[in-house]
Amino acid sequence: MPSGISSNEIFYMTTNDSKDGELMARLAGGDMSALGELAHRHQGRVLELAFRTLRSWDLAEDVAQETFLRLHRAAKRYKPTAKFTTWLYRIVVNLSLDAQRKRAKAGASLEPELYEQLPASDPNTTEKEEMAALVKTAVQALPERQRMAVILHRYNGLNHAEISQTTGWSQSAVESLLVRAYANLRGKLAKMKNLLD
Amino acid sequence: MEHINDIELQEYVSGTLPEAKAQQFRRHIDGCDACKNRYRDTANLWNALGQWSVDPSGHEIADRIEALAAESQSNRKAGRTKIIPFTRSIPMALRVAAAIILAIWGGHRLGEYGQSPSTPDVPFSKEGPRYVAALGFEWSSELTWTVLDEETSPGEVNP
């Protein structure tokens, strides 16, 4: 059974946050090397979040780069009132949703990497790989807001309140989105598994 | 304790609940078959979703950001101490002077074209004082009447 956050984790989070705050202060003071350090610290999670939302590495890289440039522009206005990552994710979420809408408006055809069919029943595919492909397809098939809520909750480890702060949606809206999203996923995964078995 | 709702169950499974609340739920789930089954379903889904892993290695952008940052920093530093040599500033001064001359000449030409060909005559009496018009006052203006009232005899003034 899972446990809550331990005191060690709280110490880790606080230390991490204060380190980010310190880097932001250096950046605001004109020390550009702090931006590189911030990028090294957070690029992994930023890229993952953008990729899970956009399903394209090219777009994810663009979003990640723009995120850090915006960080630089906003450094002087930054006040460490909320968790640094919540603020950072907010930038990524907004940029990703913008990119997604632009792509939809442009009517871009799905790139091969975006289009994940149900995995063929390849005897060499392990059950784990098969499951991963099913999950990816099921998450990608969710409506935009449900998908974003699930990605932030399941893959970025944000709680309901943090998702609300990150997206700007009310906490009750986030909770309702998550309940519907998980119910959808349960149904989709069961259906896909039946189709494959 | 009442049954755990779906929202609380999600928070519990994701491990984001405070420890005291999590313990309370743990005790409840141990003693409640309905919640135990729901917990199992939720945890299974949570674990299944965890199978989708993403590996961003090979797509790192930090080095790019670092290079941009270093470039921007060096540009800024160079900008502060940059001195333009006198010989290089001459063409710039000539261009500025030429621009000013062109602007003045253009303004002058535009002013000429902007003038209306015939300006309306300012009415004044036959014997009326020409200096009133020369001063730019209009005959009909109150000021002119005031002046003429003082200077001319009745009957000489045009309406």
Q: What number of other Cβ atoms are within 10 A of residue B109's Cβ? A: 10
- Which contacts of A129-133 are long-range, i.e. CB under 8 A and separated by 24 or more positions? A130/A196, A131/B48, A131/B51, A132/B51, A132/B52, A132/B53
Q: Quick one: pLDDT band at residue B75, thresholds 50, 70, 90?
A: confident
For A5, residues 6+ apart whose C-beta sits below 8 A from its C-beta are: A13, B15, B16, B18, B19
> In whole angstroms, what is the distance from residue A182 CA to residue B10 CA?
9
- Residue A4 sits in the same domain as residue A94: yes
Please report, as a single letter, which amino acid is at residue B106: G
> In whole angstroms, what is the distance from residue A185 CA to residue A165 CA?
24
Nearest to A68 among B13, B42, B65 (CB): B65
CATH number for position A84? 1.10.1740.10
The answer, yes or no, to whether residue A5 has pLDDT greater than 50, is no
C-beta separation of A154 from B16 below 8 A: no
Q: Considering Cα of A44, then A49, then A55, then A61, what sign does the dihedral take?
A: negative
- Residue A83 sits in the same domain as residue A176: no
The answer, yes or no, to whether residue B158 has pLDDT greater than 50, is no
Touching check for B17 and chain A: CB below 8 Å?
yes
pLDDT at A6: 44
CATH number for position A191? 1.10.10.10
User: What is the per-residue pLDDT across A164-185, written as a single tens digit (0 to 9) for each?
Assistant: 999 999 999 999 999 999 999 9
- Residue A8 sits in the same domain as residue A37: yes
Are B17 and A33 a contacting pair at CB < 8 A?
A: no
> In whole angstroms, what is the distance from residue A131 CA to residue A137 CA?
10
ipTM of the complex: 0.78
Touching check for B147 and chain A: CB below 8 Å?
no
Touching check for B14 and chain A: CB below 8 Å?
yes
Structural domain count, chain A: 2
In-domain check, residue A196: yes
| Chain B residue with the nearest C-alpha to that of A187 | B45
- Residue A100 sits in the same domain as residue A160: no
Residue of B61, B63, B72, B77 to mutate, interface with A, max A Cβ within 10 Å:
B61
| Nearest CA-CA distance, residue B68 and chain A, Å | 9
Question: Rounded to a whole number, what is the distance in angstroms from the first to the last CA of chain A?
Answer: 30
DSSP, res B60: -
Q: What is the three-class DSSP state of B49?
A: helix
Mean of pLDDT values over B109-126: 61
Tokens of B34: 């309905």
Mean of pLDDT values over B71-84: 65
In-domain check, residue A116: no
- Residue A188 sits in the same domain as residue A140: yes
- Residue A101 sits in the same domain as residue A136: no
- Residue A104 sits in the same domain as residue A129: no
- Residue A178 sits in the same domain as residue A150: yes
A96/A195: higher pLDDT: A96
Nearest to A35 among B17, B19, B69 (CB): B69
Please report, as a single letter, which amino acid is at residue A97: L
Mean of pLDDT values over B112-136: 58
Touching check for B78 and chain A: CB below 8 Å?
no
- Residue A165 sits in the same domain as residue A140: yes
- Residue A21 sits in the same domain as residue A94: yes
Q: What is the dihedral of CA A85, A87, A88, A92, to 10 degrees?
A: 130
Cα B48–Cα B51–Cα B53 angle in degrees, nearest 5: 145
In-domain check, residue A3: yes
The answer, yes or no, to whether residue B151 has pLDDT greater than 70, is no
Mean of pLDDT values over A97-120: 66
| Chain A residue with the nearest C-alpha to that of B6 | A179
Partners of residue A1 in chain B, C-beta under 8 Å: 26, 29
Domain that includes residue A44, residue range: 1-108
User: What is the per-residue pLDDT across A57-76, written as a single tens digit (0 to 9) for each?
Assistant: 999 999 999 999 999 988 88
Domain boundary residue among A50, A80, A108? A108
- Residue A104 sits in the same domain as residue A141: no
pLDDT at A51: 95
pLDDT at B101: 93
The answer, yes or no, to whether residue A120 has pLDDT greater than 70, is no
In-domain check, residue A114: no
